[in-house]
Amino acid sequence: MKTIMKPIKVIAWFNEKGSVEPVKFQFTEVDGDTLAVKVDRIIFHSEAKNIAGNKIYTYRCQSVIKGVEKVYELQFEIKTCAWKLCRI
């Protein structure tokens, strides 16, 4: 997987325990095309802290993108409520 750390738009939901799960996201490709991707499966998620000490959730997910099944990672930073496409 290639690391890209690109800000993205995300639709997510919170379960009754307060955990957040991504449902769908949108990003712009290098050629300028905008893609909306439904998260088909969350393979795993983990919690860590970045260099600044901010809590970050990382989600390894799987979806069909342009007819090809791909695995990718999304990151959610709690303090800023920002989502990033980390690797694809």
pLDDT band for 26, please (50, 70, 90 cuts).
Answer: very high
The one-character DSSP state at 39 is: -
Give how many domains the chain has, as a whole number: 1
Amino acid at 72: Y
6 is written with which tokens? 């690109």
- b/e map 48-57, b = 16+ CB within 10 Å: eeeeeeeebb
At 29-69, the pLDDT tens digits run: 888 899 999 999 999 999 998 878 889 999 999 999 999 99
Q: Strand order in 68-77's β-sheet?
A: 3-7, 82-87, 68-77, 55-65, 41-49
At 30-41, the pLDDT tens digits run: 888 999 999 999
* Structural domain containing residue 50: 3-87
Q: Does the model's pTM come out above 0.85?
A: yes
